[in-house]
Amino acid sequence: MCRELGVAVPNASSAPIELGVGGPVAFLHGRDDLEVAAVRRADCAEWIGEVEPEIEELLRSKNPLVRLVAHVDGNAIYLAEARWTSFGRRRRGGPLEIRFCVQPHLSRDVLERVRPLRAPVPWPSQAWLDALIAGPPTTATRLAALSGFLKSWYSPSSDDGIDDLSLARSAARHKVRRWPIALATLWRHVGRRPEALASQNLILNPADDSLPMFESGRLPVYTENQGVFLSSVDLEDEDPTVVTTRLQESPVTERERLSGFLLQACIYEAMCGANYSASCSSLTKADYHEILSTLRAVPLGGWHWPADPGCFWVGQGILAFTNPEDAGLGIVMGAMDRRALAYLRDFGAEAWDIWDG
């Protein structure tokens, strides 16, 4: 195959992009590893690395068809022709990252060959959810659940959080008497983990140079990524109510105070930022309820966005979101390992909108 494409098979440790007969050829590793060039799912592959300047310029300026080839155990497996859908470097000095849209989708047999399962990982503890279900509906219970969720899902190190002295300094810098306790709890754990604060929308980051304050003195704590809505609190309360304002709509008071609201926001951001996803907008009633029977509901008030009243669910390595009043019976799921999503095959997940299992 590589001879026909006019390129040599690279060694097992490399995955270059080379110019072959008829255009570029991108090699991918044949393993399930998000840190290297590899197939991500049936319709998506991602290449990560460095290329010759002339090849980078060709790809950037022309977006030509690229032949994708996976090398597995010394064998080259031709996958498809594809064009990139995103191209660039996430940080200065970081590797080039190119995401390709694969059409037609790769078959299940091919996926199993080029994206074999990784070694099992321990599932995050659900002790925080046990305590939330069993405990009284108090600020202390919700704060403990927030802390427990962040520890179990992100396994944060001491470098991931912001210490109390730095939080006090940031409050003084922004002329805030004190941060609400729920925000401080969040920041102590993952204040330096961008993906925990902004996978889909934006949870307030104390490192921001300027914090927008409403004329009424309310502090925005959660903002939709395109500015469709903004949720804010009054800084006078330790666990304040949250008010959400949408474009051209009247403000809505959230069902949870900030301690519960931030737990919901963190679950949502973790779900959206999870390495593996599954979603279906129109399940049968039987499948919908059977899938939910494998999950546990988070006992908090209905979430207003993107569907009201939204409900969060937790499973083995899975976070999920549903709207129980949605006539379409849809579900969105995020998982830290694709093993967690494998059982959805029994529910026809191969025909879902997204399924990374």
Please tell me the least confidently modeled range out of 112-116, 145-149, 308-312. 112-116
DSSP assignment, residue 30? S
- What are the percentages of helix, strand and coil residues in the chain, rounded to 5? 30, 25, 45
Task: Express as a percent the part of the chain with pLDDT over 70.
Answer: 97
Give percent of the chain above pLDDT 90.
61
- Tokens coding 237: 């309360």
- Report the range out of 45-59, 87-101, 172-186 with the highest average pLDDT: 45-59
What average pLDDT does the segment 10-25 reach? 88
Interatomic CA distance for residues 112 and 77, integer angstroms:
12
Question: Which candidate, 25, 46, 50, 51, places its Cα nearest to that of 35?
Answer: 46
Query: Taking 60 as the threshold, does the pLDDT of residue 214 lie above it?
Result: no
Paired tokens of 275: 């390495």
What are the b/e assignments for 175-195, b being 16+ CB within 10 Å?
eeeebbbbbbbbbbbbbbbee
**pLDDT at residue number 209:** 61
Distance in angstroms (rounded) separating the CA atoms of residues 113 and 122: 24
pLDDT at 327: 73
Give the pLDDT mean for 210-227: 76
Per-residue confidence (pLDDT) for residue 340, from 0 to 100: 94
The CA distance from 162 to 327, in Å, is: 43
Report the pLDDT averaged over residues 169-180: 86
Q: Is 216 exposed, middle or buried (0-12, 13-18, 19+ CB in 10 A)?
A: exposed
Average pLDDT for residues 229-242, to the nearest whole number? Answer: 92
Min mean pLDDT across 125-129, 154-158, 213-217, 342-346 is at 213-217
**CA 70: distance to chain centroid?**
25
| Sign of the dihedral defined by the CA atoms of residues 285, 290, 295, 299, in that order | positive
Pairing of β 66-72 and β 242-246: unpaired
**Separation CA 238–CA 178 (nearest Å):** 9
Name the CA radius of gyration of the chain, rounded: 23
Average pLDDT over residues 123-146: 97
Residue 62: band (very low, low, confident or very high) from pLDDT cuts 50, 70, 90: very high
DSSP letter (8 states) at residue 149: H
Q: How does strand 276-280 pair with strand 354-355?
A: antiparallel
pLDDT at residue 12, as a whole number: 74
Bridge partners (DSSP) of residue 280 are 331
DSSP helix/strand/coil, 89: coil
Beta strand residue intervals within the chain, DSSP E: 17-20, 23-29, 38-41, 44-49, 66-72, 75-88, 96-102, 202-203, 218-223, 229-234, 242-246, 252-253, 276-280, 296-297, 311-315, 318-322, 331-335, 354-355
pLDDT reading at 184 higher than 70:
yes
**pLDDT, mean over the chain:** 90
What count of other Cβ atoms lies within 10 Å of the Cβ of residue 5? 18
Q: Is it the case that residue 343 has pLDDT exceeding 70?
A: yes
**Residue 68, both tokens:** 């994708």
Least confident of 112-121, 123-132, 186-195, 273-282: 112-121
> 211 near 171, Cβ under 8 Å?
no
pLDDT of residue 4: 78
In this predicted model, which residue has the larger pLDDT, 356 or 61?
61
More confident: 247 or 188: 188
| Average confidence (pLDDT) over 320-327 | 86
Pairwise CA distance, residues 96 & 88, whole Å:
6
Mean pLDDT of 305-317: 92
Task: Using pLDDT thresholds of 50, 70 and 90, give the confidence band for residue 249.
Answer: confident
Say if CB 13 and CB 71 are below 8 A apart. Answer: no
Q: What is the pLDDT of residues 100-117, one digit of tens each?
A: 999 888 888 898 899 888
Instruction: Give the span between the Cα atoms of 47 and 33, in whole angstroms.
Output: 11
Q: What confidence category does residue 213 fall into, taking pLDDT thresholds of 50, 70 and 90?
A: low
pLDDT mean over 277-285: 92
Token pair, residue 285, equals 């009633």
